[in-house]
Structure 1
């Protein structure tokens, strides 16, 4: 999930790819060592041997004040959930007869995963009409059958089969899905600063960075999604000229989403589901 610091880091990565087109192991566009980071300069960046005063350039990405202005950006209407990723089950079930369900693990050695459920469908189940087990990689088919049988009154497990004498039994399996919801959409200002001890180097470095970012409308965030990049302003900050340090600031507004992420199983049954290993969930529709 993207947050303000993560967006700043993504902006710093974007600047690094511009200044080091051949990768960080290559040479920067200025031919000089250029340090790109999220956050302000440290005292060591100003006063040690390897500092801005010794032909080392710095580019920083920091959060800038938004002056308490309302962004005017609204999240999607209704805040809908969107499924991003789905994991299909590798386990399966087979109904041997009206009272017996067989649980099947993948025969080719594939890791067992998924949710296996049983459902008494003859209307005589009492308080618990259905049950489900989340299968883990170290589970055995007999162990899953035993746990399922223990959750249904009158059920019997033997090996990979479960049955309930005198009742109709159905088996179901389901996978998992990752869903996200946009809980907030915001516009945050960021400052990209170029620091150097040479005014001419500042001009060249700033021009390269400005031109490259001007061609970008979107940047990739750390979670693989996208954020909108909008240019706002540029200014020179020469208050440290007497220390031979030249700085140029570029102000950007980045629009990004704050997300809620949830992993959940696909629906097995329409009513009452019991989940194994200490958690339970119930639904009435």
Structure 2
């Protein structure tokens, strides 16, 4: 999920990649030090040792309050599966017991459910567990047995004395829907005490952004980039401060994201003889298995972090909004 602030940060990262093609540890395209910030200038940028007066240039990215056109989200806000993760964990059911097995040397992933075939059994008749990278077959079996009434884990095997245990493993997926589509105006400002440095920075930055119709956002998606206008702000020339503002419209989606596993178990009713109902199946895992939902939702944050690292490697931001090398 993204918002106007994080889209602005993505634009700041994009500018950093343009001005520091070898990374922040290398030289800038002008050979001068350039500080990039998601946000406005700070007082320290003008009055401390590391400031504009000492041949340090600044590029800031801020939101502009200008009224932008409305964009309509898809009618009905339909849910769509954005990505799926196939299971690399499986189960083997033998003589009323369930054995957890992993596939080769790949990272374990998936959701495992076990249940008692006797649906009239009192207590917790089923359990589910979202397998994590650090798990082993034994830890998965132990977690499932602990959540299953009367469950016993013997190594990677789950059993319930006197009962028949069944199981299934499945993958999971990320479903998304667009809750709002919007356009936001951003101001990319160049600040310098050297008028010639302003021209060089502006030329490089404007040329690079002119080639881009889309930029990657921090949630793994993209925003449409549209140039709007440019202007010089020379009202601070008496202070030997030169500024140029570029305005860009970015169109992006605000998303609602939901993680869910493949269907593992369920309950239903069939019409039997003479129209009498006949129930089948087992109850889905109950409240004691909310760790499954928590684990799947946690994966959203992990994937978002990976998306940001993939699109803008080596970049982070400090508490002042300054773009810095990622730790």
- SS of the residue aligned with 1:261? strand
Pairing partner for 2:89 from 58, 66, 91: 91
Pair 277,108 (structure 1): closer, same or farther in 2 beyond 3 Å? farther
When normalised by structure 1's length, the TM-score is: 0.80
Structure with a larger share of its residues in helix = 2
When normalised by structure 2's length, the TM-score is: 0.71
Contact map agreement 1:274 1:280 (CA 8 A) in 2: no
Pairing partner for 2:159 from 158, 162, 172: 162
Pair 107,179 (structure 1): closer, same or farther in 2 beyond 3 Å? closer
Pair 73,128 (structure 1): closer, same or farther in 2 beyond 3 Å? farther
Pair 43,144 (structure 1): closer, same or farther in 2 beyond 3 Å? closer
Cα distance, 1:224 vs structure 2: 2.3
Pairing partner for 1:114 from 96, 110, 116: 110
Cα distance, 1:218 vs structure 2: 0.5
**Structure 2: how far apart are the matches of 1:141 and 1:203?**
61
Could you say which residue in structure 1 is the equivalent of 2:27?
Answer: 27
> 169-178 or 237-246: which moved more?
169-178
Gaps of 5+ in 2: 268-282, 293-327
Contact map agreement 2:100 2:141 (CA 8 A) in 1: no
After superposition, what is the alpha-carbon deviation per residue over 1:156-213, rounded to whole angstroms, capped at 9, x for unaligned? 757424368687x643222232333222211111000011112222222212211111
Could you say which residue in structure 2 is the equivalent of 1:48?
Answer: 48
Cα distance, 1:19 vs structure 2: 1.6
Pair 27,280 (structure 1): closer, same or farther in 2 beyond 3 Å? closer
**Structure 2: how far apart are the matches of 1:109 and 1:276?**
33
Pairing partner for 2:167 from 167, 171, 178: 171
Greater C-alpha Rg: 1
After superposition, what is the alpha-carbon deviation per residue over 1:213-261, rounded to whole angstroms, capped at 9, x for unaligned? 1111011112222111011111111111111111111111101111222
Could you say which residue in structure 1 is the equivalent of 2:80?
Answer: 82
Gaps of 5+ in 1: none
**Structure 1: how far apart are the matches of 2:246 and 2:106?**
52
